[in-house]
């Protein structure tokens, strides 16, 4: 698929914007802080209904005095000979709303599945090097695009988690008594229901991406290290991590929701005393992690800068192939946000070769000269929230 046109109103630093894109490569050029990432973020938001930069959506509404009530993202997406007009209203004080081809969508998440994206950016090194939340965000963003109904499962899980945490905190303060414990049992069942779905789906998705990752890594790295990805889960074993640190967790292999639910239930029972002591939910997908290995060593802590970079890029290229194969919208829009400045000439050329065939590629750069010649098809200039043809 590709995005033909994007309209923004009060999104980030854009008061309004009307931007036409072509299939193939589109290059957004402008100094830092002008709105290049904001523009591609709007498209990315349509593909997951979440931002990689912030929790919640309020920061996406243009900041002004008096406060602005609503941001709008509108995109005309094209796939397989057909256009779809997608409109998303982000409302400060009321529920968000979506329209598809001018008809109101029942649920906002019905808008998912029309625009798919894969973004590669320097922050992707965090997936390799930093804490588990970065790796969960990677796999969950992909999961929501492959199976949009998971947007709802994540929302449900987070809601239950929040309420269960409140209950645990209250129980800690007041001393756990009969009624609060039976209420806790009820929340446990909801937690298990949504949480097991997430854990099982992550395991299944990791299995499917594994061969694509090997293939992608071989295409970009000169060394023949084998990249591997596995899931570590707080649902297994006896230990609990005190904070969001997956060090002591065990590998999980089951992608069977019912089986995962049994493991989850048993673990919750085993750690209940600890959870009441701490006043927080200590097991579940919010505490799980992906382990990225190069041959047998964890990439985190062992991989060189170059290897980490290759691994991160391989994860994104594998994501493209996965989405192409598993979704009805074919090629996702590939977003390369500020990556060329960081690469030497050889790697730039290599990356250009790897991405040139994608149906649509959106590239941002502070300096046009950093982008290889063969990717300079069409240039748009971005300055202070205004986009003009270059
Ligand atoms: N909600 C918002 N309202 C107004 N300005 C915003 C909002 N969110 C971000 N910005 C501004 O957008 C700018 C960053 O834009 P960005 O797209 O990241 O720049 P770049 O061109 O470097 O990619 C910053 O100046 C930031 O203050
Ligand atoms: Mg940027």
Please check whether residues 380 and 313 belong to one and the same domain.
no
**pLDDT-derived band at 316, boundaries 50, 70, 90:** very high
**Does 179 have pLDDT greater than 80?**
no
Q: What is the 13 CA–ligand 1 centroid distance (Å)?
A: 5
Please check whether residues 232 and 154 belong to one and the same domain.
yes
Report the number of distinct structural domains present in the chain. 2
Q: Which pLDDT score, from 0 to 100, does residue 78 have?
A: 98
Report whether residue 37 contacts ligand 1, using a CB cutoff of 6 Å: yes
Q: Which class for 379: exposed (0-12), middle (13-18), buried (19 or more C-beta within 10 A)?
A: middle
Report whether residue 36 contacts ligand 1, using a CB cutoff of 6 Å: yes
Select from 86, 137, 154, 157 the least CA-distant residue to 116: 86
Among the candidates 281, 300, 326, a domain finishes at 326
Q: Which pLDDT score, from 0 to 100, does residue 178 have?
A: 66
Please check whether residues 103 and 165 belong to one and the same domain.
no
Report whether residue 62 contacts ligand 1, using a CB cutoff of 6 Å: yes
Closest ligand 1 atom to Cα of 63:
3
Please check whether residues 129 and 192 belong to one and the same domain.
yes
Please check whether residues 134 and 254 belong to one and the same domain.
yes
Q: Which pLDDT score, from 0 to 100, does residue 176 have?
A: 66
Report whether residue 239 contacts ligand 1, using a CB cutoff of 6 Å: no
d(CA 170, CA 206): 37
Report whether residue 228 contacts ligand 1, using a CB cutoff of 6 Å: no
Q: Which pLDDT score, from 0 to 100, does residue 213 have?
A: 97
Say what angle helices 305-326 and 132-146 make with each other, to 10 degrees: 20
The residue contributing the CA closest to ligand 1 atom 7 is: 12
Do 49 and 117 contact (CB within 8 A), yes or no?
A: no
Q: Which pLDDT score, from 0 to 100, does residue 173 have?
A: 83
d(CA 255, CA 235): 13
Q: What is the 92 CA–ligand 2 centroid distance (Å)?
A: 25
Global pTM reads 0.96
Please check whether residues 303 and 344 belong to one and the same domain.
no
Question: pLDDT tens digits for 144-161?
Answer: 999 999 999 999 999 999
Please check whether residues 281 and 155 belong to one and the same domain.
yes
d(CA 296, CA 208): 20
Q: What is the CATH number of the domain that holds 209?
A: 1.20.1050.90
**Does 67 have pLDDT greater than 80?**
yes
Q: Which pLDDT score, from 0 to 100, does residue 220 have?
A: 87
Q: What is the 34 CA–ligand 1 centroid distance (Å)?
A: 7
Question: pLDDT tens digits for 191-210?
Answer: 999 999 999 999 999 999 99
**Does 37 have pLDDT greater than 70?**
yes
**Does 171 have pLDDT greater than 90?**
no
**Does 372 have pLDDT greater than 90?**
yes
Among the candidates 305, 326, 347, a domain finishes at 326
Q: State the average pLDDT over residues 102-114.
A: 97
| Burial state string for 293-315 with b = 16 or more CB within 10 A and e = fewer than 16 | bbeeeebbeebeeebbbbbbbbb
Do 322 and 142 contact (CB within 8 A), yes or no?
A: yes
Report whether residue 44 contacts ligand 1, using a CB cutoff of 6 Å: no
SS3 (DSSP) at 13? coil
The residue contributing the CA closest to ligand 1 atom 9 is: 12
d(CA 8, CA 64): 16
Among the candidates 326, 355, 374, a domain finishes at 326
Report whether residue 12 contacts ligand 1, using a CB cutoff of 6 Å: yes
Domain containing 260 equals 124-326
Question: If you ran DSSP here, which 8-state letter would residue 336 be given?
Answer: E
**Does 131 have pLDDT greater than 90?**
yes
**Is the link from the previous residue into 233 a cis peptide, with omega within 30 of 0?**
no
Question: If you ran DSSP here, which 8-state letter would residue 105 be given?
Answer: P
Please check whether residues 267 and 292 belong to one and the same domain.
yes
Please check whether residues 361 and 319 belong to one and the same domain.
no
Please check whether residues 157 and 276 belong to one and the same domain.
yes
Name every residue whose Cβ is closer than 8 Å to that of residue 262 and which is 6 or more positions away in sequence: none
Q: Look up residue 164 and give its two tokens.
A: 């269960």
Q: Look up residue 8 and give its two tokens.
A: 């923004």
SS3 (DSSP) at 264? helix
Question: pLDDT tens digits for 223-265?
Answer: 778 999 999 999 998 878 776 677 789 999 999 999 999 999 9
Closest ligand 1 atom to Cα of 338:
23
- 75, containing H or E segment: strand 70-79
Question: pLDDT tens digits for 74-90?
Answer: 999 999 999 999 999 99
Q: What is the CATH number of the domain that holds 89?
A: 3.40.50.300
Please check whether residues 69 and 199 belong to one and the same domain.
no
């Amino acid at each position: 698929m590709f995005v033909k046109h994007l309209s923004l109103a009060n999104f980030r630093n854009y008061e309004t914007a009307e931007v036409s894109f072509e299939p193939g490569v589109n290059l957004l050029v402008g100094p830092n802080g002008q709105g290049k990432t904001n523009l591609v973020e709007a498209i990315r938001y349509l593909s997951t209904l979440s931002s990689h930069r912030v929790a919640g959506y309020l920061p996406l509404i243009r900041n002004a005095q008096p406060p602005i009530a609503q941001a709008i993202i509108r995109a005309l997406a094209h796939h397989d000979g057909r256009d779809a007009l997608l409109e998303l209203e982000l409302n400060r004080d009321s529920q968000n709303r979506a329209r598809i081809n001018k008809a109101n969508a029942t649920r906002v998440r019905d808008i998912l599945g029309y625009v798919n994206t894969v973004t590669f950016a320097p922050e992707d090194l965090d997936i390799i090097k930093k804490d588990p939340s970065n790796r969960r965000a990677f796999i969950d963003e992909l999961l929501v695009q492959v199976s949009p109904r998971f947007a709802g499962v994540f929302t449900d899980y987070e809601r239950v988690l929040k309420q269960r945490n409140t209950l645990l905190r209250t129980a800690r303060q007041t001393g756990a008594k009969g009624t609060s414990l039976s209420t806790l049992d009820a929340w446990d069942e909801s937690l298990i229901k949504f949480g097991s779905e997430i854990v099982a789906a992550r395991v299944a998705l990791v299995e499917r991406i594994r061969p694509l990752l090997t293939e992608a890594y071989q295409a970009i790295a000169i060394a023949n290290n084998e990249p591997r990805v596995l899931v570590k889960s707080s649902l297994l074993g006896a230990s609990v991590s005190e904070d969001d640190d997956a060090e002591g967790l065990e590998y999980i292999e089951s992608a069977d929701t019912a089986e995962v639910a049994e493991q989850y239930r048993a673990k919750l029972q085993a750690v209940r005393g600890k959870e009441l002591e701490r006043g927080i939910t200590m097991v579940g997908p919010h505490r799980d992690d992906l382990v990225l290995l190069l041959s047998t060593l964890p990439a985190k802590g062992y991989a060189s800068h170059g290897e980490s970079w290759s691994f991160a890029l391989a994860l994104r290229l594998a994501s493209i192939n996965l989405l192409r194969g598993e979704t009805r919208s074919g090629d996702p829009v590939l977003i390369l946000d500020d990556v060329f400045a960081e690469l030497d000439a050889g790697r730039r050329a290599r990356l250009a070769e790897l991405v040139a065939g994608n149906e649509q590629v959106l590239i941002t750069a502070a300096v046009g000269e950093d982008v290889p010649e063969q990717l300079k098809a069409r240039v748009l200039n971005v300055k202070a929230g205004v986009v003009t043809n270059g």
